[in-house]
Amino acid sequence: MRIEDVVRRKGQQVVTIGSDSTVGELIALLTRHRIGAVVVSDGEGRVDGIVSERDLIPLVEGQDSAGRLVRDVMVRDVVTCTPADDLEALARTMTERRVRHIPVVEDGAMVAIVSIGDVVKHRLDELQAERDQLASYVHG
Residue type, 129: A
d(CA 37, CA 20): 17
Query: What pLDDT does 96 receive?
Result: 94
Contacts of 109 (CB under 8 A, 6+ apart): 44, 45, 46
Ranges of residues in the chain with a pLDDT under 70 are 61-64
Q: What is the pTM of this model?
A: 0.76
Residue 98 zone, left/alpha/beta (φ > 0; ψ -120 to 50; rest) = left
pLDDT of the residue at 97: 93
Domain limits, the chain: 3-139
Report the pLDDT value the prediction gives residue 62, as an integer from 0 to 100: 61
What pLDDT shows up at residue 9? Answer: 87
CA angle 129, 114, 119 (to 5 degrees): 30
For 106, the 3-state DSSP assignment is strand
CATH ID of 3-139, from 3.90.1150.10, 3.40.50.620, 3.40.50.10680, 3.10.580.10: 3.10.580.10
Structural contact between residues 2 and 86, judged by C-beta atoms closer than 8 angstroms: yes
Integer Cα distance of 134 and 140 in angstroms: 10
Q: Give the pLDDT confidence score for residue 63 in this predicted structure.
A: 66
Neighbouring-strand partners of residue 49: 40
Closest by Cα among 65, 35, 62 to 50 = 35
CA distance 27 to 108: 27
